[in-house]
Structures are given as C-alpha cells and as structure tokens.
Structure 1
C-alpha cells in the first residue's frame, strides 16, 4: 500500500480552517480529545508550516459532538475536519477503518442490516400506513418491550403508523465509509417507500439527524416532539408527583440545536409529575456522553474520561432520551433512566429497582431479536 497522504481537497479545507481560526483555544478547554492529544487546532491544520498528522487515532477519537462549534466564537466546524480525516483514511485503506477496534462496528452493522434482526410492518388495524416509527438500535437492545408499548401508543393516538426495525447506518457513516453507508441506507429507504410512508418518527437522535439529511421525501420527526402533540394516557399524568427523586436531564448531542426536542422532553417529564433541575450543561450546552463518534472501540480510555466528565455535571438520578446516553450515564455511576421507562413503568422513587444498567453482547442481540418478534406479532 502506498504511503498515506491527504488529498488536495482536504488540505485546502485544513488551510481554510487554520486561516479562519483566531487561536482562542476555547475548543481545547472544552474537549477531552483535543486536550488528550495536545492539539492546537490552528497549528495542527496549518499546512504551510507542517503536514497534517496522519495518525488515525486522532480523528477516530473525536466524539463528533459539536461542542467545539458551540464554543467557537466564529462557529468553525472543527468536528467536520476530523470526519473528513476519517474519510481520507478509509479512502487510503481500501474502504476499511484502520482502527482494529472498529471490527466490532463492522460486525454490528452487518447484523443490524441482516434479515435476522430486521423487520417492517404496516398498521394492520388502521388498514393503511401513512408513517413509520423507527426505534433505532440502542432502544431495541435496551428494553424491546418499550418499543412495543410505544408503537401501541402511536397506533392508538395516530392511526396509520407502521414500524421498521433497521439501523439508519450512522455507525457506518461515522467511520467515514460513505459508499457503504449509501448502499446500506438505500435498503432502509426502500423499506420506507415500500410501506408508502410519508412521515418517519424516530426515537433515536442519531436516526433523527441522519434521516433528516438523507430522506428528503419524508417528513422526519422526533418522537419527543410528537408525544406532546398527542398527549399522554390519563393514567400516566402525574404518576411521579409523589416521587422523592429530583432528576437531572442529559440532552443528546446530535440534537443539541433542536430546542423543540428539548422542550418536548421536558413537557413529558412535567406531565408525568417528576421533578427535575437544569444544569450548566443542559440543552444546547450538553456534553457528549462519551459514546459519540464510535470512539468507545477506538479509544476506550478517552471514552471513559468523557463519560466521567459528562456524568460529573449531573445529579445522582438522570433522565435521558437516548438509550446509548442512558448506558453511558450508568457506566458513569449514575442511576439513569430512559424517559420511556418513566412513561410506561410504575412510579420511581429512591427505593425502586433501577432498570437494566448494562447488558452483555449476547443480551443486546437477544433483545434485538425479541424486539423483532414483538413488532411482527403486532403486524399480524
């Protein structure tokens, strides 16, 4: 294989970034990755004084969470450069990630697009399908019964709602495998079109951001903005008013700029009657949970540092609306809940058993298969 060199296109982007950067280092102060690798972004991407570092561990250690852009006075999108670096490595490495740990991501994606773990169902009861609910990989691995209950809720409140259990392909895209991503995403799009869905409702924030970009013919909506429009079941309202827990809310970084999602989540919590408090890192200021950007298998030590930092800003009890964030907060020592736990379970107090903290590899895929069975049962 020839010696790795960045393309002229990438070098031009790097040069443009370096010339625009004012070297304030606001991003370095907030980012564990930049601090860990001792990166000064202005100098790092200044191709007039040095060649951009070709170590693949650097771009694959970026959580792509957008914090750098959020704190940058000029709004420079540093994470996009690291994503472009990944694409360059994929190009040079014949379509494969150079990171050994990413073999687990390749395996995940192969299974996530296999018939064994995929299904699509119309709304049989309504007799037509106008929209589809896509729960995503993490939620179906966490508690598949929550997926089934959510679909029942949507079909009752919003007739004409089918479901698709299939990955959106974001892990493939995150690795920088653009060609493979488009191949895989076309399979998902084909399922959506086959059901005749004009609208997609996602429970996963990565699915929401990915599908908003790559399914322009469908109206893509977040479950967390749909539920406030439909309202909760009467028996859900106020169930948490006697709870002695005051929660923190961990917002998901893929939708840090979607205030309607933030408001929707908080509307649900208020309707349920649970108490919560905002933190310095709520809403658009959220910090990555540590799972973003496929960093866990690439740089597990750094991922643990990011998890610890993110969890350290929150109270003992945490509500998330991303199943991966929930797991990360549990790893960070928090008593973490998915918001659907609070919707469909009984009232939680400090004396309650906490939902599953972490599952094994086998348990995760067993849950995915169970989720498929639950959905197919509802589609028959």
Structure 2
C-alpha cells in the first residue's frame, strides 16, 4: 500500500473499465485508507484480473496490492470462508487422491497438466489433446491434479503453499522438468511458483507443429476471448488464434482483447461476495461479441460465457465440435467427467 500511495496519480485510466474501482475509488484512495478491516475485506470485490495493471501509465500493479490485502485479511481471520465453500470444496476434492492421477512413463521428463475445468467439462477433448501431444512428444506423461489457484487468489497463503508445494515436490521427485498446460490459470501459477519447472502452454506446442491448411473460404466468423490469466502471455494468445484459423475460422477481434481483455466474472471468486458478477461481466463481453461465437482457451471462461452468448473452447474446434453447449456443465457432471479421466485406460 505504501508504494501505491506514493506513486499512484489517480489518473483514472484503471477506473474507467473496472466496475470494482468505479465503486471503491482509485488505487491511491484505496491505499490511503490503510489496512483497516473494512478496507482489507473490500479487496474481495476485485477479480484480480490485472486489467488495471495493463492500463496503468505508471506501470503499477493495483491487482498485486489488492491480492496482498486479501492475504492480510485472511491472516487476520476476517474472511468468512463459508461464502467461498463451493470453490474451496472443488479445489479440495480435485486435489484429493480420488481424483488425482500421475501417468508418468519411465524416463519421462515432460507432462501434460490439463488443470481442473477442462477435465470437468471436456474429458474427451483432454484425451484428444494428450493424443496429439504424444505424437509430438512420445514420452510425455499426464498429471491430473489441482494447482491451488483458488486458495492463492483468496489469500489463503498456508493452504496454497501446502497444496502447490506437494504437487511441485511430487513432480520434481519423479524427474519432471517441463509442464504443458491447458489452463491459463495453471500456467500463471506454475510460472510464478514452480521454481525450476519449464511451463509452456499446450496450445503453443500444438501450433508449432504441422497444422492443417485452412479452407480457402472460412467456415464461420468467431471472436476470441483472452482469459485474464493470459493477459500478459502473447505467445499463448497467438497460438490460440493460429489453432482457430487452422480449423477454418475467420477471427474478428473483440474491442477488449489481448492485454485489455475483460474478466468473465469468475476471477477472484468475486461471485462469493458479490452475487451477479458473472452475469454482469459475461453480458459485457457478449455485447462486444455482437452475436459472433466467442472462443476461449479457458474452460471456466467458456462455461461462464455460455450463459450470455454462444461460446466454446478452442479444443472444441480442434475436435470438430461446433455445437456449442447451451448452458454450463452441471457440478455433478463435472465430477463424473473427472472420474472418467481418473480411471480411463490411456497408455
């Protein structure tokens, strides 16, 4: 807070696109209020999406300050975790032995880590991605687990450290040095905390391979939603667009894309304390899409956007699935899908 109070000029660049800052004030005003209980808890209304960081002319990180405020609030015991029980239970179960799986052949140093949401919503697509990656990296393994991003973003430092530490230690013990991710959130967590691990988006690997020649006349026009964890990841953004185009689709960009992409509303579990956030944010993205199908590389984003407009995941196009879902995948179906992967015969 001290650095923000000293450097923020309250220019308003970050306030204009952000509903949270429109209510709470500039990062300077938030910092000046200090570490009061009320001010710390207010940080849970921020999605931590990083749009404020992207547009700040002073190169400050308001989202970093707000996440630190969350951590302090959690350390003080101010947070009512009951509001976030659905997310925390999802994380706990996803990281449990019943849903974890390490499929690591002898001599394997690289694994595919699809995360939580993609296996829960598209298990067949996970298997197809793994199949394609094996053609390029024959000795690749598969790890089903949770990276702990939920605890991380809620400021539950001890819980996150234990969960991610167990995962990273297990991977290193088994000789894994490189991870190919399908979830932008997992990519960001592993790059920031997976010391010694080379983390690359699976989409970059696929796009670097031999792609089919797209038809002379594109099949359809789509638009791309860049997930906020990939906001500062141009390599992944480019790879996703290459894959979409290789499937024969023409891309028309959203006004908010790349570094200025909008959060789908799932970020930071804001829905737990501000119900209606997902509906509000997905409607804004749907308005920008103006009837064009929206393609994302984040399964959570795709699921959220489905409530407001036609939306799919880039892997849907890769497996030629163009009948995008009419509603989000139910919780029960997500767990059945993850069990399907947990016990599937793969290698």
Whether TM-score is above 0.5 comes out as yes
Q: Partner residue of 1:338?
A: 313
CA distance in 2, matches of 1:92, 1:52: 11
**Per-residue deviation, 1:242:** 5.3
Given candidates 224, 238, 242, the residue that maps to 2:214 is: 238
Q: Does 2:262 match 1:287?
A: yes
Structural RMSD (CA): 2.0
Unaligned runs of 5+ in 2: none
**Per-residue deviation, 1:105:** 2.0
Partner SS state of residue 221, structure 1: strand
Task: Between 97-106 and 245-254, report the one with greater CA deviation.
Answer: 97-106
Q: Partner residue of 1:369?
A: 339
Q: Does 2:296 match 1:320?
A: yes
CA distance in 1, matches of 2:299, 2:285: 16
Q: State the TM-score, normalizing by the size of structure 2.
A: 0.93
Given candidates 82, 89, 93, the residue that maps to 1:107 is: 89
Given candidates 250, 257, 266, the residue that maps to 2:232 is: 257
CA distance in 1, matches of 2:182, 2:195: 18
Given candidates 7, 17, 26, the residue that maps to 1:40 is: 26
**Per-residue deviation, 1:151:** 0.7
Q: Does 2:174 match 1:195?
A: yes
Q: Does 2:17 match 1:25?
A: no
CA distance in 2, matches of 1:320, 1:78: 25
CA distance in 2, matches of 1:166, 1:58: 31
CA distance in 1, matches of 2:37, 2:101: 43
**Per-residue deviation, 1:171:** 0.5
Count, aligned residues: 346
Q: Partner residue of 1:7?
A: none
Q: Deviations over 1:71-97 (max 9, x none)?
A: 11112111111111111111111xx84
Q: Partner residue of 1:90?
A: 74
Show the 5 A alignment for 1:202-213.
Answer: 202-213=181-192
Q: State the TM-score, normalizing by the size of structure 1.
A: 0.86
CA distance in 1, matches of 2:20, 2:32: 19
CA distance in 2, matches of 1:368, 1:214: 25
Given candidates 165, 169, 177, the residue that maps to 2:156 is: 177
CA contact under 8 A between 1:241 and 1:272: conserved in structure 2?
A: no
Q: 1:204 to 1:240 in 2, by over 3 A?
A: farther
CA distance in 1, matches of 2:279, 2:287: 12
CA contact under 8 A between 1:56 and 1:99: conserved in structure 2?
A: no
Unaligned runs of 5+ in 1: 1-13
**Per-residue deviation, 1:215:** 1.5
